[in-house]
Amino acid sequence: MTIIHNRPLDDIAETAPTIAGNAFTRAFSGGSLWRLIGMLLLILILGFLTIYPLAMLLYGSLHSTPPGMAGEFNLNGYRSIMTTQNLIVLANTIGISLAKTIPSLTIAVFLAWIVARTDTPFRGTLEVLITLPFFIPPILTAMAWGMLANPQVGVINMVWRWATGATDPLVNIYSYGGVIWHMCQYSIPFLFLFMVDAFRAMDPSLEESSRMCGASRWTTFRKITLLLMLPVLTSSFMLSFIKGIETFESALFFGLPAGIKVITTDIYESINHRATPDYQYATSLSFAIMGLMFLLVIWQWWMLRGKSFQTVTGKGFRPSVMELGPWRWVTFAFCVLFFFITVVLPIGQLMLGSFFRFFGFYTYDMLTLEHYRAVFANSEFWRAVRNTMVLGLLGATATMALGAIVAYISVRTRWRGRNLIDSMAWLPWMMPGMVLGVGFLWAFAMLPGPIPIYGTIWALLLAYIALGTPVSVRVMTGAYHQLSYDLEECSRVHGATWAQTMWRIMVALAWPAFAVGWVLTFFGIMRELSASILLYSVGSETLAVVLMKLWANGNAEQVSVIGLMMMLLVIVFRWVQLSFIKSRISKL
Amino acid sequence: MASVTLENVSRMYGAVTAVDNVNLKIKSGEFVTLLGPSGCGKTTTLRMVAGLEKNTGGRIAIGDNVVSDSDKGYFVPSERRRLGMVFQSYAIWPHMTVFDNVAYPLRIRRRPDTEVRDRVMNALRLVEMEQYAERPSPALSGGQQQRVAIARALVFEPEVLLLDEPLSNLDARLRTQMGDDFRALQQRLKITALYVTHDQAEAMALSDRVVVMHGGKILQVGAPEEIYRRPENRQVAAFFGTPNLLNATVKDCRPNGGQYFKLSVEGQGWSGDCHAATEMPKGADVTVMVRPENLHVRDAGQVNGDLSWSGEVSQAIFRGSHRSIMVKTPAQTLHVEASSLSNVDIGRPVTVAAPVEAAWAVRN
Ligand SMILES: Nc1ncnc2c1ncn2[C@@H]1O[C@H](COP(=O)(O)OP(=O)(O)OP(=O)(O)O)[C@@H](O)[C@H]1O
Ligand SMILES: [Mg+2]
């Protein structure tokens, strides 16, 4: 972008009194003063959202008492995390994440290949079904699986006992296997979404020329396809691994009852489950995990350096589709099975749970609607719905607006400071929701009295914006990269100012991406639990928090009702999003 | 329509000089083409006129108004230069219809709706696209997109029309046709046009004057025929087609009555007469340029030209419209474009001849 004018404002008026244009357009096309103010404002906002909680985290880890109390600086926090017990926690965290990443990646590659490169029937529908689990809040499936695979009263084990006469349960969700199993259900659709376009966009002539050189299909797959996909596979692996370390729900629901601890649940426990919350321990651990994440991100960057995604050019050709013959019904069945296990089973369980008086006792005379009545009569539920909606709408809009601005400045201008804001916006990428939650906990408590954010819904909003910003910047960066500079410059040459060009060309062309990102962010907010559970207080609960509380009270039946409502919401939103994307594609 | 003046215009990218001290005056209503190899600075020059790039040295004026003066730090942004531009990619906004695309420059300037409709339809009629007005713009072929881009660039009656390789995305046949159509339009409306291309034939056919650039500098400015037949130096000579360039020494030099000088030159195993732009001292080394299409192959010993070489045919290639014949002479192998009807045997001794008007000498 070269539409940069570094002259001071008054310069134009002085040398060219005849040139028209009002102060506003002049300011935004040429004024470095306004630009400076804008950039400073942006840096301030991003600083508050990312640097400030980070700094507070560091402060908290070095300070002996909770915010607002007299204390001293010491290294006790870091000393207290250096225990052999925590080594096990660390090993658990890394081990579980690896153990879920490898099978997830394998299955996701297989699914992506089925959908993108074979003639499996109904691939379009299958793609929608396969990706659906990703959009379901993990807390819902966690609760559903808690009921499905409960060693005593879980449906699966009950059916097993009934069918075989055995007395031992078939599966026990409260185990390492259970934690990994639950994480896989999210990793697979996530990785699938991440990779499927790369599979689709691969230039088939690269493979065909290998076949012409005499290589068999299998050799071609190994030597050409896989190697071409290597950059995508590597970054998928790293992403999934990092996400695995950040995961909270799976370990909370299935790990803690079995005594399996990971870092996120350890932080949570040290604040919520001890007689007196050990903030210094929690912040020190948070800071340590951020260090770990930082190393991982550096490693990821190092592994991917110089590797390009050249194969993903994706225009003008159709990838060659492999004809599977009768096997295509096997691949079809595989996809359907995946959908059945990850979506139908949990939904079925929630329905089952919502209509019977007591969870686990499924007989005809136990059928009831009382849980629905109880939920709908519960004012706390409605408040949570309202909170979640308000937070979702406001949060998604604010996050995407921030992302759109940051991405525009870092991609399409050469303004000074653009790298700074880009890195600041990227910072939360390294912070698991739990860690950011702890950071904001301190950050809000340390704010001067007249700014009462702590304990309000705004605390959650700010945390959500911070958590969502890296993704929103990504989405908008991708969108801007696809718009050629010509489109923008052409508008300038034909008389539009910078502001007019922004509005009529850039916004008009980028808003579909904005909308897609908005829905993603909205889903992200609806499912968020780890930061919410630290930052909520009475009156500002979200649906996920209410679910969590009901679950803790053993009220699995009402959990099922609320879970079903949320599920419905997810499916409606997803349907709107998909039909929206479709209409956009057919229009362009 | 206005003139365009570039005075000592330069553009640096870090240490790289993309455009180096360019001086050029484009008259009102004139069609000037920037021509040169890839990376020679054509696009950069055009973009500086457009205001999309800031010149790091020199001044640019459109009509009587200076729009950019690097010494005074004065710069008028693009949108206030009243220009029309056709981009190589056409930059047709995909979210608008054809009509909205063309109407954009008018709507930006808040023209009343009736005026917008009239002028847009006029502009579309000019490029014969009026029946496509309500089409969504992605549903257009390349040629149609190009015409919409021209209509959009013309609709506001810009001071100057800038075009960056507007035909390079089209297939060969369409390219010629669109080029001719555009030239006719330009002459009818007396548009001042600055046009960038790297296609020699396109530059020749369209322009009033051609600017040959190389390495950010202007090598020569002149009418197409001037540049083709009477290049100022060896570089320009070599740029068009595949001319025969022969080293020779001046034996004699005299004015030929017109604006040129007539030289007698002698090369290795040949001698004869040719023209040159300037007076050359006796004994000076020169390069004599003879275009293949102006050479004739005759039977050996038969001399009826002002310049002649004897040698033997080493290669003959049938090319449809003509036949390329390579003749090996003591000086060098000459490339001759003969009629496709002529048939010569490989190895036959021949004489190659050219009239004095066809041979042009430039100083080495
Ligand atoms: N933004 C830039 N940064 C650095 N160098 C640049 C930049 N833009 C152009 N250049 C350099 O300036 C020189 C001229 O570029 P320009 O685009 O004007 O060439 P061109 O004559 O239009 O070539 P082509 O026919 O390939 O389009 C090139 O050497 C190019 O590498
Ligand atoms: Mg160019």
pLDDT confidence of residue A31: 57
Q: Which of B82, B87, B138 is closest, CB to CB, to A490? A: B87
Test B108 with A495 for CB contact under 8 angstroms.
yes
Test A3 with B109 for CB contact under 8 angstroms.
no
pLDDT in tens, A177-193: 999 999 999 899 989 98
Let me know how long chain A is.
588
Rounded alpha-carbon distances, angstroms, from residue A46 to A52, A520, A530: 9, 21, 21
Per cent of chain B over pLDDT 70 is 99
C-beta B42 within 6 A of ligand 1: yes
Helix (H, G, I), strand (E, B) or coil at B5: strand
CA-nearest residue to B137 within chain A is A588
Test A7 with B79 for CB contact under 8 angstroms.
no
The continuous run of DSSP H or E covering A330 comes out as helix A327-339
pLDDT confidence of residue B225: 92
Rounded Cα distance between A267 and A247, Å, is: 12
Give the number of other Cβ atoms within 10 Å of residue B138's Cβ: 13
Rounded Cα distance between A405 and A43, Å, is: 12
User: Does the CB of A19 have a partner CB in chain B at under 8 Å?
Assistant: yes
Q: How far is the CA of A582 from the centre of ligand 1 (A)?
A: 39
Closest by CA position to B1, among listed B25, B26, B24, B29: B29
C-beta B13 within 6 A of ligand 1: yes
Task: Look at ligand 1, atom 24, and give the residue with the nearest C-alpha.
Answer: B38
Per cent of chain A over pLDDT 90 is 17
Task: Look at ligand 1, atom 26, and give the residue with the nearest C-alpha.
Answer: B38
C-beta B213 within 6 A of ligand 1: no
pLDDT in tens, A205-223: 666 666 666 667 777 777 7
Test A3 with B78 for CB contact under 8 angstroms.
yes
Q: How far is the CA of B91 from the centre of ligand 1 (A)?
A: 19
- What number does the ligand 1 atom closest to the CA of B34 have? 21
Rounded Cα distance between A250 and A230, Å, is: 29
Query: Residue with structure tokens 């797959």?
Result: A221
Specify which residues B5 forms β-bridges with. Answer: B25, B61
C-beta B16 within 6 A of ligand 1: yes
User: Does the CB of A379 have a partner CB in chain B at under 8 Å?
Assistant: no
pLDDT confidence of residue A571: 87
User: Does the CB of A584 have a partner CB in chain B at under 8 Å?
Assistant: no
User: Does the CB of A451 have a partner CB in chain B at under 8 Å?
Assistant: no
Test A495 with B54 for CB contact under 8 angstroms.
no
Rounded to a whole number, what is the distance in Å from the CA of A29 to chain B's nearest CA? 8
Q: Which of A493, A496, A500 is closest, CB to CB, to B50? A: A493
pLDDT confidence of residue A214: 63
| ipTM, 2 dp | 0.74
pLDDT in tens, B60-76: 999 999 999 999 888 98
Helix (H, G, I), strand (E, B) or coil at B334: strand
CA-nearest residue to B80 within chain A is A495
pLDDT reading at A115 higher than 60: yes
The number of C-beta contacts closer than 8 angstroms across A and B is: 97
Q: Choosing among B12, B80, B100, which should be mutated to test the A contact, i.e. which has the most A CBs within 10 A? A: B80
Q: Indicate the pairing of strand B74-75 with strand B349-354.
A: unpaired
Average pLDDT, chain B: 89
Q: Choosing among A25, A483, A494, which should be mutated to test the B contact, i.e. which has the most B CBs within 10 A? A: A494
Average pLDDT, chain A: 81
Test B73 with A11 for CB contact under 8 angstroms.
yes
Tokens of B209: 């004057």
pTM beyond 0.95: the answer is no
Test A494 with B85 for CB contact under 8 angstroms.
yes
C-beta B41 within 6 A of ligand 1: yes
pLDDT reading at A24 higher than 70: no
Axis crossing angle, helix A370-377 with helix A379-412, rounded to the nearest 10: 70
Residue A368: pLDDT band by 50, 70, 90 thresholds? Answer: confident
Amino acid code (one letter) for A267: I
More confident residue, A169 or B309: B309
Q: Which of B54, B74, B109 is closest, CB to CB, to A15? A: B74
Residue A481: pLDDT band by 50, 70, 90 thresholds? Answer: confident
| Residues of chain B contacting residue A486, judged by C-beta atoms under 8 Å apart | 87-91
CA-nearest residue to A21 within chain B is B80
- What number does the ligand 1 atom closest to the CA of B46 have? 18
Say if residue A294 is exposed, middle or buried (CB neighbours under 10 Å; 0-12, 13-18, 19+). exposed
Rounded Cα distance between B31 and A563, Å, is: 71
Rounded Cα distance between A494 and B82, Å, is: 7
C-beta B15 within 6 A of ligand 1: no
Give the number of other Cβ atoms within 10 Å of residue A583's Cβ: 11
Mean per-residue pLDDT, A10-17: 33
**CA torsion sign, A225 to A228 to A230 to A233?**
negative
Provide Rg for chain A, Cα atoms: 26
Q: How far is the CA of B37 from the centre of ligand 2 (A)?
A: 9
- What number does the ligand 1 atom closest to the CA of B216 have? 14
CA-nearest residue to B90 within chain A is A486
Task: Look at ligand 1, atom 11, and give the residue with the nearest C-alpha.
Answer: B18
Could you say which DSSP state residue B135 is in? S
**Full set of structural domains in chain A with CATH:** 4-13+28-313+329-587 (1.10.3720.10)
Test A484 with B89 for CB contact under 8 angstroms.
yes
Closest by CA position to A346, among listed A247, A253, A260, A244: A253
pLDDT confidence of residue A29: 43
CA-nearest residue to B162 within chain A is A493
pLDDT confidence of residue B175: 85
pLDDT reading at A390 higher than 80: yes
pLDDT in tens, A541-557: 899 999 888 888 888 88
Give B144's contacts (C-beta < 8 A, 6+ positions apart). Answer: B129, B132
Test A7 with B75 for CB contact under 8 angstroms.
yes
